[in-house]
Structure formats: C-alpha cells, structure tokens
Structure 1
Amino acid sequence: MNPFIDNLSSGFTPTTWVEAAVSTCAFASLIGYHVWLVRTYRREPAQTALGIAHAVREKWVRTVMTERRDILAVQTLRNWTMAATFLASTAMLIALGLLNVAMTTPRLAEMSHLLNAVGSRSESLWMVKLTLLTLLCFAIFLNFALAVRYYNHAAFMLTLPDEGNRAIELATSAVHRGAVQYHIGMRGYYVTIPLALWLLGPLWFLGSSIALIFLMRRMDRTF
C-alpha cells in the first residue's frame, strides 16, 4: 500500500469528521452561489454586472468598427492584454512558490496547525489542501493566458475594414470570450483566499467563504 494513502485513511478521527463536515459546507456555499449566479445571468443578464458588461462591450465593438476608432481599440486591448499578462504571470509564480514550499518546508504544516482549533492535523490532508491551491493557481494562469489569446485575435478583427454585421459579430465574440476568461481568472483569484485560509483550519475556510460570498454578491449585482 502507498504510505500516503495509509496515512490519510488511518486518520479518520473525530476532528477529521469535523474537518470534512465544515469543509463540505464551505465548498457547498461557494458552488451554490456560483450556480445561482450563472442561472441569474442566463435568465436576467441585466440584473448582473457580467451581463451589463457584456452588453456594454457589444456596443463598444460596434461603435469602434463603424466609426473606425482604431487607435481607441488598440489602446484598450493593449491595456487588457497587459493586465491579463501580469495576472497570468503572478498566478504561475504563486503556483511555483507553493510547490517549492511543499517540497522544502516540512515543518510548515505543523506551524499552520497552531491556529487550527477543531480541524484535522493530518499532514497528508494538509498536503492535499496545498495541492488543490496549487492546481487552482495553474488554472488561473490558463484562464488569463486564454484571455490574452482572444484579445490578440480581437485586435486584428477590430482594425479590419468594415465588412458588415458578420465582421462585427466575430469581433464581439472574440472580445467577449477574452472577457469571460478574464472574469473566470479573477474569480479564481478570489477563491484562493478561502483555500489559503483552509490551511489554517476548516473554520477559517468556512468563515472566509461566507465573507467572500457576501463581497462577490455586491460586486456581481452592481459595478
């Protein structure tokens, strides 16, 4: 048997069950909120900040292409691309830093448990948490890398001669796809906060998840 699996499976103590119950509530809260947000966006997009932003981007693309505001288009896309590139690089640095911590700091898990009041103190479970946080950072990097890709495509489309509604629709689609990837990447950054605090214990995870949901609800309903 794998020693890691043995260590993980043999640690089902009362604190482990508390860890599982509280962590499940935190995950369910985050997932449930985003399911509600997606359903609201599909049914009433005008009631969400994402839906309003999508409508504004569509009007912006049409204005740029019909009035030939090429300089405005290039400058705006340059700013978006620079921001996405910076955030992608940051996510990769964080992910590599977490991997380095996991491999070179064996006593870090022990130190983090000083603030863990009710959760499990299993080092194997702590490594699972750190791995999930690292994978999330890699996913964030991928989102922002895709955003840069779509913005680069949109830069060419927006500066082409006016070829009718079809060209406008294609440019709008490229800008929208880039914005969606950017939005998902930012949402991933938000979720890293409760996942990072999860390393300190499940109560930190649950409390920060609830606080994050209240904050995101305010942002998702209005600008």
Structure 2
Amino acid sequence: MDISSVKVLWPEMLTDGAAFLVLFFYHFHYARRVRSAPTKTSLGMANHLRQKWVRSIMSENRDILGVQTLRNWVMASTFLASTAVLIDMSILSVAFRPTEKMVMISQTLNFIGSESEMLWLFKLMTLTVNFFFAFFNFTLSIRYYNHAGFMIDIPNEDPELTDGAVTEVINRGALHYFLGMRGYYLAVPLTLWLFGPLWLLAGAVILITVLHKLDRTI
C-alpha cells in the first residue's frame, strides 16, 4: 500500500475505530453492570421478574397462562428470525450484483475516507454477518422457549424440576432474544456506515444515547 493510499484511509480508520470502540465499551460496561447491579438494569430486572412469574405459574398451577405467554414469545422470536434472514438474503443479492448507481449514491454522502467498491462490499458483508447473528440468536431463543413450555407443565411435585430450573431455561431464551435485538439495533450504524465513516460514528453515538435510557431501570 503506497503513502497516498494511507493518507486517504487513515481518517476513515480512525473514525471507524472510534465508532466501534464506543459500541464495544458501552456493551462491556453494561455486561458488568448486569452482573454487579442487576436490578438497576432492564435485563437484570426482567430476569428477576421472570423468576417470580415462573414461581407464581408453577405454584398456582396456571399452566394455560404459562403456555400462552411462552407461545407469544415464540411467535415474536419466529417473526424476528424470519425477518432477519430475509434481510440477509436481500443484502447478499445486492452484494453479488452491485450496481454502479448504488455505489455512487453511497459515495455522494461519503465526506472522508476511501470510495473503494471493495470496501463498500466489505461493509455489506459485515451487515450480513450482523443479521445472521440476530437470526441464530432468535432461533436459539425459540429453542429454549419450547423447552420451557414442556417443563412448566410438569407438576411441581417433581423434585428434579424446580421453578429455578425452569427460570434458568426461560432466561437463557430471553438472553438470546436480547442479543438478537442488539443485532437489529446495531444494524442502524452499520447501515449508515455504507455512506461513510462519519455516518457510522454519528449512528453509534445516537444508538448508545438511546440504549443508555432503555437499558437502565433508574
């Protein structure tokens, strides 16, 4: 790579690096927050409430309510998984048959950095991997919710099946649902990345600002 190419790429590399570091450190901090003070985070509080819900369902033998709720969660995960894979197929069709007009539109708003078509295709493939990540997490959440549907119907006299064991399975499904939704959220800055690194950084900052309000309870 010659010096002129480096001069063109270094502003984009710095901006892209800053955007991904912001996203990484926020989620790293949030993961530690969930472990250290779970009730102050939306994810930790939801896990706590699901434990109380499972205990209520199993102790009062409200099996129908439990199965209906799990069915709703399965339907939501199924819809989001199907949508993710459809978006992936659409992105791959664009990546395999890119048109000059599409590339030109994205480069029009690219104020700094490279205008290489190969880099544009790399950004598309990154977006594809992100939606595949969302798809697999939603399918795993369906798997755990289906297991919980069988477990929650078993009479609570069974000593091997406690409400804690059922809660753990449901919370695993909920964690994969949470990760799948993160994939959808991350698609916003990654899509903006197609128009240039400044758009990626702006999208990352806006996303973190919104998530900061959504991810905490107080």
Band of TM-score, shorter chain: over 0.9
Of 60, 79, 87, 2:53 maps to: 60
1:147 to 2:141 alignment = yes
Query: Take 1:173 and 1:12, find their aligned partners in 2: how far apart are those partners?
Result: 52
1:219 to 2:210 alignment = no
1:105-116 matches, within 5 Å, as 105-107=98-100, 108-116=102-110
Match of 2:31 in 1: 38
Match of 1:206 in 2: 201
Name the aligned partner's letter for residue 152 of structure 1: N
Query: Take 1:12 and 1:64, find their aligned partners in 2: how far apart are those partners?
Result: 63
Question: Could you tell me the TM-score, scaled by structure 2's length?
Answer: 0.95
Of 111, 133, 136, 1:117 maps to: 111
Query: Take 1:69 and 1:12, find their aligned partners in 2: how far apart are those partners?
Result: 66
Query: Take 1:12 and 1:83, find their aligned partners in 2: how far apart are those partners?
Result: 47
Match of 1:19 in 2: 12
Are the counterparts in 2 of residues 25 and 206 from structure 1 also a CA contact under 8 Å? yes
Query: Take 2:98 and 2:123, find their aligned partners in 1: how far apart are those partners?
Result: 15
Structure 1 portions without partners, runs of 5+: 1-8
1:31-110 matches, within 5 Å, as 31-107=24-100, 108-110=102-104
Name the aligned partner's letter for residue 158 of structure 1: I
Question: Could you tell me the TM-score, scaled by structure 1's length?
Answer: 0.93
Match of 2:153 in 1: 159
Q: Give secondary structure in 2 for the equivalent of 1:117.
A: coil
Q: Following superposition, which runs of at least 4 residues in structure 1 exceed 6 angstroms of deviation?
A: none
Are the counterparts in 2 of residues 157 and 167 from structure 1 also a CA contact under 8 Å? no
Structure 2 portions without partners, runs of 5+: none
CA-based RMSD:
1.4
Query: Take 1:170 and 1:222, find their aligned partners in 2: how far apart are those partners?
Result: 26
Identity %: 46
Q: Give secondary structure in 2 for the equivalent of 1:12.
A: helix
Name the aligned partner's letter for residue 149 of structure 1: R
Are the counterparts in 2 of residues 102 and 130 from structure 1 also a CA contact under 8 Å? yes
Q: Give secondary structure in 2 for the equivalent of 1:170.
A: helix
Query: Take 2:137 and 2:46, find their aligned partners in 1: how far apart are those partners?
Result: 18
Name the aligned partner's letter for residue 46 of structure 1: T
Deviation at 1:164, TM superposition (A): 4.2
Are the counterparts in 2 of residues 147 and 181 from structure 1 also a CA contact under 8 Å? yes
1:160-175 matches, within 5 Å, as 160-162=154-156, 163-164=158-159, 166-175=161-170
Deviation at 1:165, TM superposition (A): 7.3
Query: Take 2:6 and 2:103, find their aligned partners in 1: how far apart are those partners?
Result: 18
